[in-house]
Chain A
Amino acid sequence: MPFANLSSRLQETFRKLRARGKLTDKDVDTALREVRLALLEADVNYLVVKDFIAKVKERAVGHQVLASLSPGQQVIKIVNEELTSLMGGTQSKISLASKPPTIIMMVGLQGSGKTTTSGKLALHFKGKGHRPLLAAADIYRPAAVKQLIVVGEQVNVPVFSMGETNPVDIAKAAVAHAKTHGNDIVIIDTAGRLHIDTELMHELEEIKRSVNPHEILLIVDSMTGQEAVSVAVSFDQQLGIDGVILTKLDGDARGGAALSVKAVTGKPIKFAAMSEKMDGLEVFHPDRMASRILGMGDVLSLIEKAEATFDEQKAKELTEKMRRDAFTLEDFREQLAQIKKMGPLDQLLGMIPGMGKLGQMRDLAVDDSHLKRIEAIISSMTVEERRNPDIIGGSRKRRIAAGSGTRVQEVNRLLKQFNQTRQMMKQFSEMERRGRKGKGGFNLFR
């Protein structure tokens, strides 16, 4: 998979840099050539890449990097910072009209996810106490109106439709309807169209002129290649978009299009859509996206999140136990509880460095319900068993499985996982000990 290549190649490059200890001008060039290829493989537009590499080089060459004790980390920090700043620095929200209804127009290429995302957006606002209305202004695609009606039913939001009349009239009537029915947000779902289709682009301009939307959102498929740039620039020039929603991020696309679109339009990416169902709309985090594009996992936000959530005292105790190799199933459960506080597990896994390299996230199938079962299993053990799992034999396993409403296989799997974790912790604490003696700090790119 291109994924794995990218991640491992970058890590390989930075390992090499580290091994040298010092950075020469040529080293930086070598490293940046790899970064360039990685970005291209992630579908970042080649002109954006060019620009980006030039910026990073400017910062990286010279004393800043040379002075660093850890050149590899220094370079990744610069790459990451530049990437994040290019992605937009901070997250942005949808601005609501001072005088409702707020009118939002969804535009984009065919199949990018406008209709689905309209439903998600409606749900998002409904959850915040608003009363959104969905407007069906796609009169071209077969069953597009029906699709929006079904989506509306799924999120329990009313859908305004007028069959296959003029989309401009539909939009106007929808806004009028919202005003008389107390809907404070109108989301207009428009037909997918090519940015070079003058007639249909003109139709969008007409809709814009007649209802004055507060937000025109461009919906961009995260799997888009190099053309993302001309699509975004075209829509922006002809309509003046206010922001972008990136869809289908639940797959393995590196999403370089995000960077391209942001770089050429300067418009913020407001949401990330990551599901076919109605739940997967998330606030866009430029830093996470930057790391995703680089393929190294969201190192920084994992650290941040861990810092914010982990109970410091407990963490200290755990570290102490790790060192003494006295880690028990009780601690394991404690640790799981801590991790649970940090957020959905699949998201967390995506942030762990090296996951890209494994390329196996899809096989892990760890979810929150899985966590609950693990908790149930551990709760069904005696104190003695939790402290000393080695005593758990066949009959104990059967008892535990029955007590927790699980199966013996699951108990086995948990015990195996526990042992692996214990093993890993041993390695970590050894790494840490060695690290102390050496340069200090946790080297992510070893």
Chain B
Amino acid sequence: MMLRKLFSRGGKKEAKVMPDPRINDDQVKPEGGADAGLLTDAERSQGSEANTEEVTPQGLFARLKQGLTKTRTGFIDRIGQILAGRGIDEDLFDELEEILIQADVGVATTLELIGRIRQRVETERITDSNAIQGLLKAEIKDLLSRDHQPLALPDHTPAAIMVVGVNGVGKTTTIGKLAYRIKQNHAKVVLGAADTFRAAAVDQLRVWANRVGADLIAHQEGADPSAVAFDSVAAAKARSADVLIIDTAGRLHTKTNLMAELGKVYRVTTRELGRDLDEVLLVVDATTGQNALSQAKLFSESVPLTGIVLTKLDGTAKGGIILALANELRLPVKLIGVGEQMRDLQDFDPISFTEALFN
């Protein structure tokens, strides 16, 4: 019950978006190699309104807002620009299409979204181009809300979480942040260092464990990751831990042997637990393009994914891949990463996410 509270951070949704003065990445012009001015219509307006900031105890929201502001300015301001004072014509749809594509939403999902709006424009006899924004907003909100589920941990202990994903997306860092969040509520956390492959992966997790005050279960580099998982479960039980989080090595989803290894780690963990894992989270880097779909598909063939953690949203990547993942795979995004520090982890909230996009 205590844990359940941990993961619901209500009451902060109305936080306002803070402008980020650093957004100027697209204002640079390419040189050589290609047509000059290639990027001109990618120029975005800077974060404009100087909204007051509602500071939360940990300043978590400030960081989220920084991340979202970029998404918002890149996305919605441009829609606003496009929509300002014109009728609904083909060019308008083409441009909306381009904006979604540029946000990494992907061809299929973009065409679907635009298609739905086209249809509504027709059936509802919409002639005002300004209404389009509302329609798009509603569609995106619906899509993201459809399967939304916050990260909720059970009453039984230890709650067990496994974190998987391709190389370098932010698994280990996410685990550090999550452990920090759980520790804030004085729960006992055990981290299992089942990445025995990558150079100094164990040391990296150890730094995080020390930083947040979690126990670390680790073997030698090169050891069998399943054995680490096994020992981690045993330790979590023996030490009456509230939460166990298992880190796994980054692996490309196309490598059958590595995916089989992951399946084994999962099976050994559940067997030793005597039940299913509570969460199997796929970490996806927001900078990733369409390959994220392939990642999610193939990872879910090896382990039963319960949700997605979208990291690096503090960059300029729009995070549009969320829409494609929700649309095509119906995998809910549960957490978002908005920085490299331990506080930079947030629950994914479709409403405020969409609102922030459209504010």
Contact = CB atoms under 8 A, between A and B. Distances in A.
Contacts of B28: 230, 233-234, 237
B289 A223 contact: yes
Given A112-B168, A225-B321, A234-B28, A266 B33 contact: yes
B317 A225 contact: yes
B98 A110 contact: no
Nearest to A150: B199
Contacts of B290: 2, 41-43, 225, 254
A143 interface: yes
Interface string A223-239: 11111011101101100
Given A227-B317, A233-B39, A221 B203 contact: no
Contacts, number: 204
Contacts of A198: 22
Interface stretch (A45-53, A165-173, A177-185, A382-390): A45-53
A229 B170 CA distance: 22
Contacts of B167: 111, 113, 248, 276
B131 interface: no
Contacts of A111: 167-170, 285
Given A2-B294, A43-B289, A252-B254, A221 B106 contact: no
B316 A47 contact: no
A51 B167 CA distance: 32
Nearest to B172: A142
B199 A225 contact: no
Contacts of B287: 109, 221, 224-225, 227, 231
Question: In which size bucket is the chain B interface?
Answer: 35 or more
Given A142-B207, A230-B25, A194 B252 contact: no
A143 B289 contact: no
B23 A196 contact: yes
Nearest to B207: A142
Interface stretch (A99-107, A257-265, A398-406): A257-265
Nearest to B42: A47
A225 B288 contact: yes
B291 A223 contact: yes
B289 A142 contact: no
Contacts of B221: 150
Contacts of A146: 199-200, 203-204
Question: In which size bucket is the chain A interface?
Answer: 35 or more
B34 interface: yes
A250 B35 CA distance: 31
Given A142-B204, A196-B315, A225-B321, A262 B33 contact: yes
Contacts of A116: 199
A109 B285 CA distance: 11
A311 interface: no
Contact of B340 (A40, A41, A140, A154): A140
Given A230-B316, A264-B33, A221 B168 contact: yes
Contacts of B26: 230
A1 interface: yes
A391 interface: no
B287 to A, nearest CB: 5
A264 B253 CA distance: 30
A146 B201 CA distance: 9
A47 B340 CA distance: 31
> Quick one: which of B41, B199, B250, B297 has the most chain A CB within 10 A?
B199
A363 B256 contact: yes
A227 B101 contact: no
Contact of A224 (B25, B250, B256, B289): B289
B38 interface: yes
Contact of A266 (B22, B25, B31, B102): B31
B215 interface: no
A265 B29 CA distance: 9
B18 to A, nearest CB: 15
A372 B293 CA distance: 36
Interface string B106-121: 1100000000000000
> Quick one: which of B106, B166, B170, B289 has the most chain A CB within 10 A?
B289
B22 A196 contact: yes
Contacts of B321: 225
B72 interface: no
A265 B166 CA distance: 27
A58 interface: no
A197 B169 CA distance: 19
A124 to B, nearest CB: 18
Contact of A147 (B199, B208, B289, B318): B199
B257 to A, nearest CB: 8
Contact of A1 (B38, B204, B297): B297
B32 interface: yes
Contacts of B197: 276
Given A221-B168, A362-B255, A234 B25 contact: yes
B104 interface: yes
A308 interface: no
B312 A110 contact: yes
A256 B294 contact: no
B22 A250 contact: no
Given A196-B316, A253-B291, A225 B104 contact: yes
Interface in B182-201: 197-200
A267 B169 CA distance: 26
Interface in A161-219: 194-198
Interface in A259-284: 262-267, 276
Contacts of A43: 104, 289-291
A253 B254 CA distance: 10
A276 B315 CA distance: 25
Interface in B252-306: 252-256, 285, 287-294, 297
A17 interface: no
Interface in A1-57: 1-3, 37, 40-43, 45-48, 51
Interface string A134-168: 00000011111011111100100000000000000
A385 to B, nearest CB: 33
Given A2-B291, A48-B34, A142-B208, 16 more contacts: A1-B293, A46-B98, A51-B38, A110-B170, A111-B167, A143-B207, A147-B198, A147-B199, A150-B199, A195-B315, A196-B315, A226-B101, A226-B318, A230-B42, A230-B316, A266-B34
11 contacts: A2-B106, A51-B35, A223-B292, A225-B317, A226-B102, A226-B103, A227-B317, A250-B252, A251-B254, A252-B254, A362-B255
